[in-house]
Amino acid sequence: MRIENIRSETTKGRIRRLADIVWENNARQRQTVWFETGVADEDFLSGSANSFLVGAAIPALGAGERRVSVDAPVCPELKQNLNVACRILSQWYGHRQPPPEIEADVLTSLPPVLGERSTGIFLSGGIDSSASLRANRLQVPRSYPSSVTHGVLVFGYDIGAYADGDANADQQRFEHALGSARAIAEDAELELVLIHTNIRHLNEDLDFWLNYYFGAFLASVAHQLDRKLQSMIINSGPDISTLAPHGSHPLLDPYYGTASMNIIHHGIEYTRLEKTRLVADWPVGFANLRVCTRGEYVNGLNCGICEKCVRTMVALQALGRLSGCGIFPQQEVDPDFFLRKTVISDVYPAFCYEECLSLLDARGEQRLAAAIRTNLRIYQRSKRHRLAKWTDMRRLRHLAWKLDRAYTQGLFYQMFRKVTGRS
């Protein structure tokens, strides 16, 4: 892979930093990737080669590219760090081919910094993001460099993730997310920064995203901000007890940092229930909670029926905070609906439901607790779970995706997304 022609363009009040990606060991067309913001926030976009390198190196690893060359100097620490990150991923997922060599000249001095030292956090409005922000505000004195000063909302992360996505629907979802982010940023006294990017289009496969890529993606956004920010917080999903190979991981994310941008993986000390309690005790964070994966925000509410919504609602019901909260259409989780419609399909969601059981029992929510126990037993017995003990299904799915992409131009994957509604 070659990353070349890093440049800037300004059109219609927008500033864009771009680079061309040339695949060398894959029959893929040249791609142009970019990061964009309003011209008023131009100082936030550095156009750093570090950003394009971090955002492209992991897709290069996934595609079996033998090298990643950059025609602009990068941080010498990043060259070393990325090699470590690629080796960790290769070890986790059993790659036989060595990771791509990073070929680039190195910077001989640190890039200039504008303003005072600052720390940013990604604002998705979800449990992980809002809990990390709340914990930072409660625990870190504002005079400390690690006290969060900027919130970053990214179009092209979950919303706008796909090149062939529904642009109107994406825009509508982003408006909702922006409204929540504005309220959260105002209450937490953060400067809000909006970044648009298409760099995820280098590999749109959902399993690749989850298992390899989304930590590096977020770090690539962070490096664009390195003239104004010196640290960026990536919010942890799983806690210590459920840590497993994942695209964002405390062992991995710090290796996406440079001498001028520290990448912090925060929140592994909190379980999902503990994070939910943190957010529920923060009125503005709670009122603007955005967890839905379906993108169907009816009257600004989360749908209340997708697995992520149900998982959050169960935690809130266990905490006695669901009824009347006004962020889901439903006032309580219907045990019959849970039994019929909620499928527990992985270790982490299973743990999230399990940790709610004692609280539900204590609150007398026996029917819901029984429904959860039934679906947990189904999960434990499931063929998927037993297979997962013997082989890594994610690797098989990734191989299927690669074959589909190589021989049918991704036709089966597109059909799968349409049929299942995965976004």
> Any bridge partners for residue 262, and if so which?
231
> CB under 8 Å to 390, separation ≥6 — which residues?
none
Measured from the CB atom, the residue of 190 and 306 that comes closer to Zn ion is 306
Q: In angstroms, give the least distance from the CB of 293 to Zn ion.
A: 6
217, exposed or middle or buried, with CB in 10 Å at 0-12, 13-18, 19+? buried
Measured from the CB atom, the residue of 208 and 297 that comes closer to Zn ion is 297
Amino acid letter, residue 229: L
Q: In angstroms, give the least distance from the CB of 357 to Zn ion.
A: 22
Measured from the CB atom, the residue of 28 and 294 that comes closer to Zn ion is 294
Q: Which residue has the tokens 């409660």?
A: 138
Q: In angstroms, give the least distance from the CB of 99 to Zn ion.
A: 37
Beta strands in 108-255 (DSSP E): 119-122, 150-155, 191-197, 231-235
Measured from the CB atom, the residue of 41 and 307 that comes closer to Zn ion is 307
Q: In angstroms, give the least distance from the CB of 292 to Zn ion.
A: 3
Q: Nearest-5° angle of CA 329, CA 330, CA 332? A: 155
Q: In angstroms, give the least distance from the CB of 46 to Zn ion.
A: 36
Q: In angstroms, give the least distance from the CB of 304 to Zn ion.
A: 6
Q: In angstroms, give the least distance from the CB of 124 to Zn ion.
A: 14
Are 371 and 357 within 8 A, CB to CB? no
245-278 as b/e, with b when 16 or more CB fall inside 10 Å? Answer: bbbbbbebbbbbbbbbbbbbbbbbebbbbebbbb
Q: How far apart are CA 363 and CA 312, in angstroms?
A: 17
Q: In angstroms, give the least distance from the CB of 306 to Zn ion.
A: 3
Q: In angstroms, give the least distance from the CB of 295 to Zn ion.
A: 8
Q: In angstroms, give the least distance from the CB of 288 to Zn ion.
A: 15
Residues in contact with Zn ion by CB under 5 A are: 292, 294, 302-303, 306, 309
- First and final C-alpha spacing in the chain: 27
> What are φ and ψ of residue 242, in 5° steps?
-120, 15
Are 74 and 50 within 8 A, CB to CB? yes
Measured from the CB atom, the residue of 201 and 311 that comes closer to Zn ion is 311
Measured from the CB atom, the residue of 19 and 292 that comes closer to Zn ion is 292
Measured from the CB atom, the residue of 348 and 412 that comes closer to Zn ion is 348
> What radius of gyration do the chain's Cα atoms show?
21
Measured from the CB atom, the residue of 242 and 302 that comes closer to Zn ion is 302
The helix/strand/coil state of 112 is coil
Measured from the CB atom, the residue of 220 and 276 that comes closer to Zn ion is 276
> CB under 8 Å to 77, separation ≥6 — which residues?
257, 258, 259
Closest CA to 160 of 145, 147, 173, 176: 173
In whole angstroms, how far apart are CA 336 and each of 16, 255, 286? 50, 45, 26
Measured from the CB atom, the residue of 48 and 129 that comes closer to Zn ion is 129
